[in-house]
Structure 1
Amino acid sequence: MTVLTVIAGMSLLAWLWLLAGQGGFWRTDVRLPRATAARPDGEPRRWPSVAVVVPARDEAEVLGVSLPSLLAQDYPGRAEVFLVDDGSTDGTGELAGELHERYGGLPLTVSSPGEPPPGWTGKLWAVRHGITLAGERFAPEFLLLTDADIAHRPDSLRELAAAAVDAELDMVSLMARLRVETGWERLIVPAFVYFFAQLYPFRWINRPRSRTAAAAGGCVLIRASAVAAAQVPDAIRQSVIDDVALARAVKRSGGRIWLGLADRVDSVRPYPDLGELWHMVSRSAYAQLRHNPALLAGTVLGLALIYLVPPAAALGGALTASWSLCGLGAAAWAVMAATYLPMLRYYAQPLWLAPTLPYTAALYLLMTLDSARDHYRGRGAAWKGRTYPRPDTSA
């Protein structure tokens, strides 16, 4: 029992350190600034030209909501949309043209780059094609890289550009508000963003001298000059977790980046059951660990210590009348739940879900193990009919 009490104490100490020393990861107030992101009249001195690049593969289910929101952007400067059809079989490209005819709005170009060559992920090959098309058309000052399942409020591009221009940022990224409607989405989705922020605290990312770098691939506004300086997407062409790789490349090349939670950008992709949510996480979880067995083992032990020990100690201590064990476990569990409350409020979810975070963390642990199993069975990271092997790092 003494050993168990020590482990419970270590878990509590870990939570106290996370609470105070992990960049305030649990806070949800890192939002796109308004009063300081533009002049007092809310307008930058000049609106830069922007090319909106949308890689899309079999997105007909969601494109009817997302694409009209881009075409309807209220943007005073020049902006054009380039939808890159990445080998869709569901009529995504044709639907895009029909939506433009129906709704009008910003100019739209629909094109397809063909199958990606060896060493490229499909999304990054499509992004490269879209960037090339935009450069041939009008040499934009900024690129808005946004996924085909992301819907933007009418002033989204205006606010992003104003923030980038006023703060002299090279890249501004927003973590889109994911859909939370079903029971499984309520259990899994807020925790997904919570865990991401714990790994990559937004405040650390936004410090110019910090080495922490990450972005949210669904919504990235980036200067064309920063794209050239970082040599992206070519430099990250094999990356499955391309948003983090993009942010690292830009920051390494001297660019200033910013990441926050979105108020005007929403994901419209549904994840109605556990199977689809499981695949969303497991397809890239082991890639996040660089396919390293030692990192996998450390992650499993870390998740167990931080998320599973507190409820086990609290309940086990209560059942065995070991009150020191129970008290340490309950205290760690309480700190954990308290840090989760802001994310639940952001997603307008019941606060009683906070104590269930250990159960959700256990699911994520299993998803990570499943991702590693798929990798060693030769499946790699799979997405819409494509499977990507471990990147070749010998070059």
Structure 2
Amino acid sequence: MTALAWTAAGSLGAWGWLLLGQGFFWRTDQRLPHHAPWAGPWPDIAVVVPARDEAEVLPASLPSLLAQDYPGRARVVLVDDGSTDGTGDTARDLAARYRGLPLTVVHPGEPEPGWTGKLWALRHGIEVARADAPDYLLLTDADIAHAPDSLRVLVASARAGGFDLVSQMARLRTVSRWERLVVPAFVYFFGQLYPFRWVNRAGARTAAAAGGCVLLRTEAAERAGVPEVIRQAVIDDVSLARAVQRSGGRIWLGLADRVDSVRPYPGLADLWGMVSRSAYAQLLHNPFLLTATVAGLVLVYLVPPIALGAGLLTGDTAAGWAGGLAWAVMAGTYLPVLRYYRQSPLLAPLLPFTAFLYLLMTADSAVQHYRGRGAAWKGRTYARPRPAPER
């Protein structure tokens, strides 16, 4: 066997493991039931929405929160985090027009040293919400639209399952050509890193959440010390889930059916920024992890089509067969996510190209970090967060 054939065989072996040994990450059946077995009493809820320059998307998202059909007491706290586009005024206008749940708009001021902007906003919003002693906090982003019964389903599932944290990965927008190519793969890769089944089983060691929709029991938040304990986190949702899990809390993560992101990413540059701003933080800003990740992406995603093509051109039968089989398994595991996003199965064979784009985004994230630009988001950059002052 040639070196290429051995490499392709290694890739095929890796796909055999991913298919059967990585928590069946490629399946999409980890979802909340529409009617969880819970009849009440219904706990008090505070919905906390951090928002920075979100006036454009709020009309498509905030009314869905105000219109929640929830049997218990609930309120919405929108944290206007230094916006310059009239986000707070837009929120007040929408509340006056649509009514529904009561809305409070608050302003946290600039973040203290050692805090990322979103977590600083969440800290302020949670402090305001706690004045009413809510039983649960729903932490949701300003670009997330919820079905009318979303809060009811989240609470019922948390109560019935005994979960301290229930999180749904909102269905991202897939309208433009680049969104259809890149977005489903984002969810696929996330599930590969944090298999939902592993997160959801009792006594799990894997912890993750999706920051766009997190229902968190207030007592569990206090016990875990959040958000203070994760104040420097760029990838705040995974850090939040780990903090809750470490403190003894039970967590659940799944795909959403009727919780949707309304934020558009029409071009490749928009999606590139979404991924690259936090990719190197995911690797702990570690160049050795970066090197290993790039090598892994090449072996798992790029070697199969290369081996198949080279095998066909040079007559290397072993390389061609191993590469072709690995590529077929890869495409097959991608099909459930494409179905979830209602996309054509013809996109499945293009996964190696999409993975190559993610490889470039990850490398660019590292380059931006070493240039001092770090995780940039809406005018703020978190290259190396400074330590928080002692309290």
TM range, normalised to the smaller chain?
over 0.9
Q: Is the 8 A contact 1:143 1:222 kept in 2?
A: yes
Equivalent AA in structure 2 for residue 52 of structure 1: V
Structure 2 equivalent of residue 93 of structure 1: 88
Show the counterpart of 1:200. Answer: 194
Partner secondary structure for residue 46 of structure 1:
coil
1:44 is matched with which residue: 34, 39, 43? 39
Take 2:273 and 2:298, find their aligned partners in 1: how far apart are those partners?
A: 22
The answer to whether the aligner puts 1:384 opposite 2:382 as a matched pair is: no
The answer on whether the counterparts of 1:34 and 1:163 sit within 8 Å (CA) in structure 2 is no
CA contact (8 A) 2:114 2:387 kept: no
Contact in 1 for aligned 2:374/2:383 (Cα 8 Å):
yes
Matched residue SS, 2:57: helix
Cα distance, 1:322 vs. partner?
Answer: 1.0
> 2:152 aligns to what?
158
Measured in 2, the distance between the counterparts of 1:389 and 1:3 equals 41
Q: Please state how far the C-alpha of 1:126 moved relative to its aligned partner.
A: 0.6
User: Which residue of 106, 109, 115 corresponds with 2:104?
Assistant: 109
Count of residue correspondences? 389
Q: Verify the 8 A CA contact 1:67 1:96 in the aligned structure 2.
A: yes
- Alignment of 1:305 with 2:321, yes or no, is no
Which residue is 1:72 aligned to? 67
Superposed displacement of residue 171, structure 1: 0.3
Matching residue's letter, 1:82? V
Whichever residue aligns with residue 6 of structure 1, its letter is W
Aligned mates of 2:384, 2:13 — CA distance in 1: 36
Cross-structure match for 2:30: 30
Q: Hey, what does 1:189 align to over in structure 2?
A: 183
Q: Distance in 2 between matches of 1:3 and 1:391?
A: 45
For the 8 Å contact 1:44–1:165, the answer to whether it is kept is: no
1:283 maps to which of 255, 277, 298: 277
TM-score by length of 1: 0.97
Alpha-carbon offset, residue 292 of structure 1: 0.1
Q: Whole-Å Cα distance in 2 between the matches of residues 249 and 305 of structure 1?
A: 33
Q: For the residues of structure 2 that align with 1:309 and 1:391, how far apart are their CA atoms?
A: 37
1:149 aligned onto 2:143? yes
Counterpart Cα distance in 2 of 1:255 and 1:335: 36
CA–CA separation in structure 1 for the residues paired with 2:166 and 2:33? 11
Given the alignment of the two structures, is residue 346 of structure 1 paired with residue 340 of structure 2, yes or no?
yes
Cα distance in 2 between the residues matched to 1:181 and 1:34: 26
Find the aligned partners of 1:245 and 1:67 in 2 and give their Cα distance.
Answer: 26
Q: Percent identity at matched positions?
A: 70
The letter of the residue matching 2:355 is: A
8 Å contact kept, 1:291–1:372: yes
Q: Does structure 2 retain, via aligned residues, the 8 Å contact 1:51–1:82?
A: yes
Task: Please tell me the residue identity of whatever aligns with 2:266.
Answer: P
Partner of 2:288: 294
Q: Is the 8 A contact 1:291 1:390 kept in 2?
A: no
- Asked if the contact 1:172/1:222 (under 8 Å) is kept, the reply is yes
Whether the 8 Å CA contact 2:113–2:387 is kept in 1: the answer is no
In the alignment, what sits opposite 2:21? Answer: 21
How many Å separate the matches in 1 of 2:347 and 2:90?
A: 39
1:219 maps to 2:219: no
Cα separation, 1, equivalents of 2:203 and 2:386 = 30
How far apart are the structure 2 equivalents of 1:252 and 1:44?
30
State the 1:208 CA deviation: 2.4
| Aligned partners of 2:375 and 2:382 also within 8 Å | yes
Letter in structure 1 aligned against 2:77: F
8 A contact 1:172–1:258 mirrored in 2? yes
Residue 245 (structure 1) aligned with residue 277 (structure 2): no
Whole-Å separation in 1 of the counterparts to 2:284 and 2:385: 9
Contact 1:170 1:226 in 2 (8 A): yes
Between the aligned partners of 2:34 and 2:59, the Cα distance in structure 1 is 29
Q: Partner of 2:329: helix, strand, or coil?
A: helix
C-alpha RMSD over aligned residues: 1.2
The 3-state SS of whatever aligns with 1:51 is strand
Q: CA deviation at 1:391?
A: 4.1
